[in-house]
Structure 1
């Protein structure tokens, strides 16, 4: 456990100690880092077609812009929080934020599909080093009576980022400031990132290294390899005609994950620090949470990518207009999460109702698609889709964590957050492949086929939702 390197006036938020003096400015620093990461998670879904037209590469390049980032985030999140315990959270936050700025610069100066995809990996890895440190620092800086207020600040920030990311990306691409075109979506991170680094050096609490926790590097490498072995063939298989090696890789992914589970159990029995507590895999509720989260985040992220591609490739929208067309989806999600707060006492029923509403919105949307479809005609269906999505995601983490014991919560929350990223990568890979595979004819037909798959995935989310506990545990650890 990391402890604050405090002075009398800046003690940690534990009982009997004065709260950290600069805790509220420090919270804004943590939020700034999250904003950078959240924005860059969404911008390429809007800018992707423009980037492909400029840099070349096949249609899979558009998928890799998102997949490379989220896969790197998945790999990094499994170790990022643990590294914060080992070397200090402030130090890891600074390393992550600085590396994220460097990765953004590398994206901005990329001259080929390979270089921009590699730079996205750099962004994802350093983003994963930065983001997990915030939760630990907040729990140390704030006294219990202020902690919930601090966590509550993330909701509006996430909502504004979800709306603002695509709009900002579209505006910057269309504005073409100084002839930079799409490159400005990454260059804008430079001033924001440097200010965040400077503020972090001033306001974040210093921490001392803890020797109690050891890094499970082999486990992290196995989990990353298993993820890559399933995502890579899903993205590249279509362009190569689905040769035998694509199916071999996907089968190998299953074997690697099975070996990963065996290795984690062995490490735990020998007194080591496993990446994931093996006891979690003996709990039906947690397994259900893994399935629900992976399927839902795959469906939602893949849906967002395909909608943005369809509006540009099928309806001829500019990047800015495409970003604005998606606002009802994000707005509906924010409304759904607000409604969830009023009805969360109903627990799992809220999540299940959200899946039904989301599926209805997706079906309504695909029935409205057509070459002359305008954004106002699509808005109601997108709003309903977002409303249902908010009702699913709002209670998901707390309900999924209700099935684990208190000493397993940290491992469980880290695992679910990593699965959120893996699900996003799978959604981009799978649904992007379905869309591009049907794009040879009418883009509207391709989008309709893809959205039927999305509706099926949401229906599967509903069915697996019955594996979750009926109600959330109030003391479940918050998850970013």
Structure 2
């Protein structure tokens, strides 16, 4: 991917260094808004349904619609930054995101809120990819790594605080707005980012040599949307043949997307993904691992939020606090991954740790059944989080060790898009399993526990499949890779 030609010099004096850190602060605030909005509806979903109406599928679409749109938009987000300037696209993205947040806060129906959530995801995809180029433009090469090193801990803290803040805002019911505050709070923050970004972010010159494959982007979006639609609504329609056809058509569209990308490259036209990547074992395996594992992550987060509120009668704030051990565990897992090294072995240890946590929770739900409370789940939730952090930390570095230098940019963007797609598929699949089991256990006080344990069994299956595919990845990360192509 071609970088924008920056018109300002990298910081070499204390004043310029300070300006560089100001850029980091602005783009991180934008990334945090995106992260929080991908998480908040897992906690606020039941409250939204009680207010607006809508069924089980509505709860799934609240999260899946956002992450699906983000996945589709990321394929062209970085290209738009190249074509029109990273600062300009960041500001357009955050301005649109802020407006969409206002519309979400005033949504009058389930359909309107889902539509706005999809718009939020698309606009977030316009904003988020610009962060890398803006930070690189603001620091000399020997300082960029330090700046990037800050992003992980900050976003990890956002992952811890997001569900808690969402629960607090819903419970506090400021101005009588209830769940609407989780979106309304984005508005003053977004306005502040727009003002700060206009002043602080470095300008860049658009690169007119970069093209945009609109047809390819639409084909990929259609394929991803068809798969998620079928998974979410299959239970609603009792899995008729046309739902299966829609899912199959979605996968077919994604295959056609890959084929057409290769054809465009042979014709000398711009592509969204470097076609040679589809011949790399590490890249293809990385796509599978990312879709499965990130799906298990966000999907299980939805399961716990639903169980805490619908099954145990917790308030949104209590549910957010109960989920905190998992988020804190992820931070611990990130730290442990640095000690163990960013290797395939660390990923396997992470997968095993996640499975241990899931299986413990499944056994607890079976043993305690209708008398289960949140307290026994806190420790295994922390174990799940530790494993997730250990498995995620090496993921991108290891997958990128299996691609060539000129393919790294395209591979990184594609992996991030598949991460978001995996989130949507995980929410759709695990949510469907949860609500299906729940529908067959109406009147049974152990129904919620049984639904949780069954859906977690599927989530554990996702993790096992991800671990098996990981055997196809390089053993080490990109910097000291022992390539196993």
> Where on the TM-score scale, by shorter chain, does this alignment land: which range?
over 0.9
Cα distance, 1:12 vs structure 2? 3.4
TM-score where L is the length of structure 1: 0.95
Question: Of 200, 217, 220, which residue of structure 1 is paired with 2:217?
Answer: 220
Superposition pairs for residues 145-294 of structure 1, below 5 Å? 145-294=142-291
Cα distance, 1:475 vs structure 2? 8.1
Cα distance, 1:253 vs structure 2? 1.3
Asked if 1:341 is matched to 2:355, the reply is no
Question: Of 2, 5, 15, which residue of structure 2 is paired with 1:3?
Answer: 5
Q: Does structure 1 conserve the Cα–Cα contact (< 8 Å) formed by 2:11 and 2:19?
A: no
Query: Residues of 2 paired with 1:203 and 1:373: CA distance?
Result: 52
Query: Residues of 2 paired with 1:285 and 1:335: CA distance?
Result: 27
Aligned to 2:93: 96
Cα distance, 1:456 vs structure 2? 1.2
Instruction: After superposition, give the CA deviation of every residue in 1:175-207 in whole Å (9 maximum; x if it has no partner).
Output: 100100000000000110000000000100011
- The more displaced of 50-59 and 369-378 is 369-378
Superposition pairs for residues 53-92 of structure 1, below 5 Å? 53-92=50-89
The alignment yields a C-alpha RMSD, in angstroms, of: 1.4
Aligned to 1:450: 455
Cα distance, 1:145 vs structure 2? 1.9
Aligned to 1:371: 370
Query: Residues of 1 paired with 2:372 and 2:127: CA distance?
Result: 41
Q: Does structure 1 conserve the Cα–Cα contact (< 8 Å) formed by 2:11 and 2:20?
A: no
Query: Residues of 1 paired with 2:198 and 2:67: CA distance?
Result: 27
- Aligned residues, how many? 468
Aligned to 1:419: 418
Cα distance, 1:20 vs structure 2? 7.0
Aligned to 1:355: 351
Q: Where does structure 1 differ by over 3 angstroms across 4 or more consecutive aligned residues? A: 18-21
Query: Residues of 2 paired with 1:381 and 1:260: CA distance?
Result: 41
Query: Residues of 2 paired with 1:151 and 1:371: CA distance?
Result: 47
Aligned to 1:304: 301
Q: Does structure 2 conserve the Cα–Cα contact (< 8 Å) formed by 1:233 and 1:249?
A: yes
Query: Residues of 1 paired with 2:26 and 2:432: CA distance?
Result: 38
Cα distance, 1:13 vs structure 2? 6.4
Q: Does structure 2 conserve the Cα–Cα contact (< 8 Å) formed by 1:84 and 1:92?
A: yes
Q: Which runs of 5+ in 2 are unaligned?
A: 442-446
Q: Does structure 2 conserve the Cα–Cα contact (< 8 Å) formed by 1:13 and 1:140?
A: no
Question: Of 12, 16, 23, which residue of structure 1 is paired with 2:10?
Answer: 12
Q: Does structure 1 conserve the Cα–Cα contact (< 8 Å) formed by 2:137 and 2:202?
A: no
Aligned to 2:120: 123
Query: Residues of 1 paired with 2:230 and 2:294: CA distance?
Result: 20
Aligned to 1:435: 434
Query: Residues of 2 paired with 1:253 and 1:216: CA distance?
Result: 19
Query: Residues of 1 paired with 2:429 and 2:11: CA distance?
Result: 45
Query: Residues of 2 paired with 1:401 and 1:389: CA distance?
Result: 19
